Amino acid sequence: MILNVALAAAIAGLGWQLWQDWLRSRAREQAVLEQRIKPLPPPPVSAGKPAEPVTAASYSDIAQKMLFTKDRNPIVVVDVVPPPPPKPMPSLPVLYGVMNLMDGTTAIMSEKSGTQHLGVRLGDKVGEFKLVAVSGREITLEWEGKTVTQEIDEMIDRAATPPSSNTSVATPRAESRQSAAPPPRGEKAAPGTDIGNKLHACQPGDNSPPGTISGGYRKVVSRTPFGETCHWEPI
C-alpha cells in the first residue's frame, strides 16, 4: 500500500509539472502572436530595361539550322572579277619646234614620225595626248588624266627630217650646189594645214624656195635652235 501511494504521488507530481510546462508554453505563444512588428519601408522601384524590338536578324540562327532546307549556308560566294590591266601609254608625239606668237605658243608636232605635222596650241590634242603646258625647256602633255613632262630636246626627232619643213644639211657641197643651180620647184607649193594665227604649215614634199607666193600666202623658212621651220603667212 505504501508503494502504491508513493507511485500515485509521483504520477500526480509529474502530471502537475507537465501542466505547468504547458501553461508556460501557451503564455509564450500568446506573447509572440500578440507582438506587433514594425514593417520595413519597401525598396525603391526602378524602371526596368525596355524590351528590344524583334528583328529578323534574331532569327538567323533558326534559318541557318533549318533541317527542311538543302542549303543552310547563308554565306553567298561572289566571284570577284579582276580589274582589267591598265592601258599602256602610247608613244609620245614627235616635236619639230615651238613658235611663241603674239596670241600664244604653238608647238609644231605630229602623232608619230613620218606623219603630217600640225600646229598644236594649249588645250589641243595630237593623237591621244593633249598639250597642257609649254616652257622654254619642257613640254607637258596629258594622257588618260595623267601628265607627262618631257624636255623639248628629247622630244625632237633628230633622226628624221620633219615631213612638212624644208630642212637641208648645211654642208659646203650642198651650198655650192644650191648656188650653182636654183632649187627645183615642187608641185606642192601651196599652204597646208592651218596652225593658228592665220598661219599655215608647209605640205610634205614642198621644196619651193622661201618667198614663194601661192593663194595669197608667202612661204617663210626660219632658223631655230631645233632646225629650220617652214610656214605660210598671209601677204
Please give the chain's pLDDT, 235 residues, in tens: 999 999 999 999 999 999 999 999 999 999 888 888 888 888 888 877 888 888 877 777 777 776 676 666 666 677 888 888 888 888 888 888 787 766 677 888 888 877 777 788 888 888 888 888 888 788 888 988 888 888 887 777 665 444 443 333 333 333 333 333 344 444 467 887 777 777 887 877 778 888 888 888 888 887 766 567 788 888 8
The confidence score (pLDDT) of residue 224 equals 64
Q: Looking at the domain 94-155, which fold is it?
A: SH3 type barrels. (2.30.30)
Would you state the cell numbers that stand for residue 227, as one nine-digit string? 632646225
The reported pTM is 0.38
How far apart, in Å, are the Cα atoms of 184 and each of 177, 181, 208? 12, 9, 7
Distance CA 104, CA 207 (A): 28
CB atoms under 10 Å from CB of 111, counted, come to 19
**Span(s) in the chain for CATH 2.30.30:** 94-155
